[in-house]
Amino acid sequence: MILVTGGAGFIGANFVLDWLAGTDEAVVNLDKLTYAGNLENLASLDGDARHHFVRGDIGDRKVVDRLLAEHRPRAVINFAAESHVDRSIHGPEDFVQTNVVGTFHLLEAARAYWGGLNATDQAAFRFLHVSTDEVYGSLGPTDAPFTETTAYAPNSPYSASKAASDHLVRAYHHTYGLPVLTTNCSNNYGPFQFPEKLIPLMIHNALTGKPLPIYGDGQNVRDWLYVADHCSAIRRVLEAGRPGEVYNIGGWNEMPNLAIVHTICTLLDEMQPDPAGAYARLITHVHDRPGHDRRYAIDATKIDRELGWRPAETFATGIKKTVRWYLDQQGWTANIVSGEYRQWLTTNYGDRA
Ligand code: NAD
Ligand code: DAU
């Protein structure tokens, strides 16, 4: 079996669902259930004996040691993190606690467990750390995309904390020989993404007639990857990646934010027209994100060349599926936006107008 951390969040839940749709290998899912963790994402696994959910913190050695000893996983896949850049600007401490200190404790637990395995199991064991392209910093309009050897230059408390965790993971391989793999992926979108992130936020705001807040001029560029493609890349790296190596994962799909939002508006105009007029009328420019990285772009040649992985979705197909999913699952979003989410909107958007 495998131990997944953060498997009640956006990417982790998609990963667990896809994993169990493709294999009978069981999953222990350790998640703290922060505001971003949502058991509703995993509701389709209710009663499935292959999925064992445990509420807990990756930084809690007692819990992690117990899970490793009891379940004897062949791999740990670490999705658990504080993941939202804007929240890291308003409150960086949780990011240091979970992303840096939590990853450190998880690595220590994995090292102790791995050290006690027999030689065959040691050789087969993997610690796969899920990271982000944001650790490489910001690109100019004509700069070459990030490769695995691009120097780290994180600019937000979020990306700095992820960079720190990547360095720890690397060090545990170099120093102790722990068979680690690190993946650095671009912006994901798809089902179950918390509506604080650009795409689900825009869909939710449009459907509820609220302004669509574009930070700055809306020309910041991101590379966008459908979440199922990220999950298939992680499975491939787990299966065939070389221990100690880093793999960039991306969609070969750079787009400015404003173009993303216009695409969403056009799809909504087709799928659920608003009698009040085209959704694009709601687009509103607001104060920029402090330290806002201008452009990210991923060179995903290595994972293609070495492991034969490429994304299956184009942005056109992925975004259509995504908008359809949010239209069909408005109850899922409604359950989220009724709680702590309201306070977050005031904190983040209150003084941007
Ligand atoms: P998310 O915020 O949706 O989910 C994070 C999950 O981790 C939640 O379920 C939360 O409850 C859990 N968690 C938080 N702190 C924890 C702790 N201390 N112990 C155990 N569980 C904890 O995040 P996401 O978007 O699904 O991202 C998952 C991972 O992928 C993160 O490591 C993130 O840095 C990375 N990543 C995300 C993207 C993206 O576009 N979303 C892109 C590249 C990499
Ligand atoms: O690049 C990978 C990263 O992508 C992941 O590591 C992060 O976990 C994930 O949150 C994401 O970070 P971003 O900051 O790029 O994603 P976000 O959806 O917050 O913002 C995408 C872009 O849209 C960014 O340029 C900021 C802009 N934006 C965002 C929001 C929430 C707006 O213009 N308005 C908004 O209201």
| Average pLDDT per block of 10 residues along the chain, 353 residues long | 98 98 98 96 97 98 98 99 98 98 99 98 98 98 98 98 99 98 98 98 98 98 98 98 98 98 98 98 98 98 98 98 97 90 89 79
Count H helices, E strands: the chain? 14, 12
| pLDDT at 341 (0 to 100) | 85
d(CA 9, CA 192): 8
Q: Is 158 a catalytic residue?
A: yes
Q: Which of 113, 136, 158, 189 is catalytic?
A: 158
- The count of structural domains within the chain is 1
- For residues 146-185, one letter each, b for 16 or more C-beta atoms within 10 angstroms of the residue's C-beta and e for the rest, the string is bebebeeebbbbbbbbbbbbbebbeebbeeeebbbbbbbb
**Burial of 262: CB neighbours in 10 Å, binned 0-12, 13-18, 19+:** middle
d(CA 127, CA 111): 9
| CB-based contacts of 148, cutoff 8 Å, min separation 6 | 184, 245, 246, 247, 248, 302
Within a domain: 278: no
129: closest CA among 13, 253, 8, 12?
12
**Residue-range definition of the domain harbouring residue 230:** 2-190+224-252+295-313
Q: Which of 31, 82, 133, 166 is catalytic?
A: 133
Q: Can you list the alpha helix ranges (DSSP code H) found in 143-240?
A: 157-176, 198-207, 227-240
d(CA 248, CA 306): 12
Within a domain: 183: yes
Within a domain: 344: no
Which residue minimizes the CA distance to atom 36 of ligand 2?
213
Determine the 3-state secondary structure of 101 from DSSP.
helix
Q: Which atom of ligand 2 is nearest to the CA of 162?
A: 6
* Global confidence as pTM: 0.98
Between the CA of 99 and the centroid of ligand 1 the distance, in Å, is 9
Within a domain: 39: yes
196: closest CA among 19, 56, 38?
38
CA 219 to chain centroid? 22
Tell whether the torsion through CA atoms of 46, 48, 51 and 52 is positive or negative: positive
Q: Is 134 a catalytic residue?
A: yes
Ligand 1 contact via 14 beta carbon (within 6 Å): no
Substitution site in 85, 199, 210, 295 for ligand 2 pocket (most atoms within 8 Å of beta carbon): 85
| pLDDT at 296 (0 to 100) | 98
d(CA 215, CA 202): 12
| pLDDT at 163 (0 to 100) | 99
Ligand 1 contact via 15 beta carbon (within 6 Å): no
DSSP for 144-159 reads: PPB-TTSPP---SHHH
- CATH code for the domain of 182: 3.40.50.720
| pLDDT at 339 (0 to 100) | 79
Q: Is 133 a catalytic residue?
A: yes
Within a domain: 140: yes
- Residue 300 and residue 99 in contact, taking contact as beta carbons nearer than 8 Å: no
Within a domain: 231: yes
